[in-house]
Amino acid sequence: DVKVTQSSRYLVKRTGEKVFLECVQDMDHENMFWYRQDPGLGLRLIYFSYDVKMKEKGDIPEGYSVSREKKERFSLILESASTNQTSMYLCASLSPPGEQYFGPGTRLTVT
């Protein structure tokens, strides 16, 4: 069975902290994605990766960076968390040709 796991379900951080969100998939997928979900705005793509050490900016990359050192792990980094980054963060991996599998999400609150 396909599995995408995210390191935390809930996270509370202070403004200015560096935040790491981890995502692991066990399906040997090459493409992985980070989205944020906000009410009324749907899912917006932050970054994606199509191979180890490869990354591409999505629609809203400002304030975020990513790391993919191993195929199964894709990390989202908030360099200096701000209150407007309070959101639900969803990781996904792609099963060719088109189906994306999502993790359960991390609800991040920045105070």
Which residues of this chain interact with other proteins, rule CB under 8 A?
4, 30-31, 33, 35, 40-45, 48, 50, 58, 90, 92, 94, 96-105
Cβ proximity to other proteins, 62 vs 98, nearer residue: 98
Nearer to other proteins, 45 or 77 (CB): 45
Residue 66 one-letter amino acid: V
Q: In this complex, which beta carbon is closest to other proteins, that of residue 13 or of residue 101?
A: 101
Q: Which of 25, 36, 9 is nearest to 90 (CA)?
A: 36
Least Å distance, CB 11 to other proteins, is 15
DSSP 30: S
Shortest Å distance, C-beta 107 to other proteins: 9
Peptide bond into 104 cis (omega under 30): no
Give the Cα separation of 91 and 89 in Å (integer). Answer: 7
